[in-house]
Structure formats: C-alpha cells, structure tokens
Structure 1
C-alpha cells in the first residue's frame, strides 16, 4: 500500500477544494449537508463521474488505494478521487481535514471543486457535501 501517494494527493486537493481558515486555530469536526439532491448517486468510476459533470478526466494518480483525475468543464474544474474500499476514502478524508474545505462525497469517491460549484455538482452526481474543518 502506498500511503505516501494518498497523503501526497491531499496537497493537490487544496488547490481545487479551497480550504477555509479556522480563526481559533483549533480543529473542528466536519459537517455534512442534508440528503443528496440527486436521486441516484454516481458510481465510483472517475470516467463516469467526469462525464456526468460534463468533462473528460485526465488521470493523474493510479495507486492501489486510490485513483485520481482532474477535469475541466465550462462551469468548473474538478478533482475526482475514487477508492477501492470505503476505509481508504475515510482515511483520505481524515487526512484532508488538516486542509479544511468542502468536498462532495459519495460511495467510493470524493470530488473537490470551488465551494460555489459544489451544489451544482451534487445535483448532477448525488453524494453529500461534507465540510472539513482545518487545523490552521
């Protein structure tokens, strides 16, 4: 297992996900939005998720514990990360909590984009918007 790849990809997420600073400097628990807007949640396949978002994915990372790609639509830029098991997704989210920010989370996948595009992405992909509170 290449945990370094998992953690290394988190640095890339902050560029797309846009974390928010916590003025108190203390880590806070994450928050999730209400039930997903879409009735069907996208499967954990980067190419399918990208197609539903209106773009074509460029794969950046292929590893045992995750697969990551980026795509650019007319509306937004997306970083899509898929996982072969939920435990890897939860470990990734736990590590990403250091950076803070909001992410669209589904079964076996996480999508990061600018906060103003998350609701639109959720309408297309399903999933839940999760807010992770950073430590900075």
Structure 2
C-alpha cells in the first residue's frame, strides 16, 4: 500500500501542476519578471523613463486602461523600502519580484490581469 499511496500522490501533484491548481486562481497569470522594458511590453505600454539608475528604473506608462508608474529595482530590499516610503502617500500598488506598478485601482486591476503580482494599498496620512 505504501508504494501505491506514493504513486497516487505523485499523480495528484502532477495533475495539479499541469492544470494550474494551487495557490493562484486559474484566471490569475503567473507573476511576471524581467526588465522594465519587458514588463512594459507585457503590459502593452511604451515606457517613458523618468529615473534610470543602477538601483531604480522608473517609467511613466499610459495604456487604454489609464496612466501608471512602473518601477524596477536592483534588490528586494530596495523595492520594499521604496514601497514602504511611497505608501505614506496613498495609492494602489501592484507588486511583483523586484517591480512595482502604481496607479488608481481600476488601472492596477487591469494590469494584474497582464502582470500577475499582489495588490497593496497605501495610506494617506494627514500633512502630506
């Protein structure tokens, strides 16, 4: 029985992986990765660079869904520090590995359909 159980478990895992069952819903794409230009292309945007440094590349994008800012980071830590600071000013953030897209809720929702990622919301504090 022990070997049969392993075979059945192996078949179930193989089917789950092949059909996309797991942590993400079937309608959610895998989280995109790549350079700013690769992410922009996947999001159907022609990026207009506003920052181009070794640590951070940031571009403005305008698509049929609206305007947003797309940023890529050299490190996970740099990305998290940037998000934590930016969230003080409010906004909706679509977060992937070493990239962030910032825009209004409907734009971020549309982008998530193309880029995957997770949504985080900033909090506007008084005085900003």
Question: Would the TM-score normalized by the shorter structure come out above 0.5?
Answer: yes
* Alpha-carbon contact 2:65-2:106 (below 8 Å) kept: no
Work out the number of aligned pairs and report it. Answer: 103
Cα shift at 1:35: 5.3
Q: Does 1:108 align with 2:84?
A: no
**Structure 2 residue runs without a partner (length 5+):** 1-22
TM-score of the pair, normalised by structure 2: 0.72
After superposition, the CA RMSD in angstroms is: 1.9
What does residue 133 of structure 1 align with? Answer: 123
Give the equivalent residue in structure 2 for 1:120: 110
Give the drift of 1:40.
1.6
Aligned-pair CA distance for 1:122: 0.4
RCO higher in 1 or 2 (8 Å CA, sep ≥ 6)?
A: 1
Task: Point out where structure 1 has 5 or more consecutive residues left out of the alignment.
Answer: 1-33
Larger Rg computed on CA atoms? 2
8 Å CA contact 2:94–2:100 kept in 1: the answer is yes
TM-score between both structures, scaled by the size of structure 1:
0.68
Query: Within 2, Cα distance between the matches of 1:59 and 1:117?
Result: 19
Give the structure 1 partner of residue 77 of structure 2.
87
**Partner Cα distance (1:39, 1:98) in 2:** 29
Check whether the contact 1:42–1:48 (CA below 8 A) recurs between aligned residues.
no
In 2 relative to 1, CA 116–135 (structure 1 residues): closer, same or farther, beyond 3 Å? same
Write the distance in 1 (CA, Å) between the matches of 2:68 and 2:35: 14
Consecutive aligned runs of 4 or more in structure 1 exceeding 6 Å deviation: none
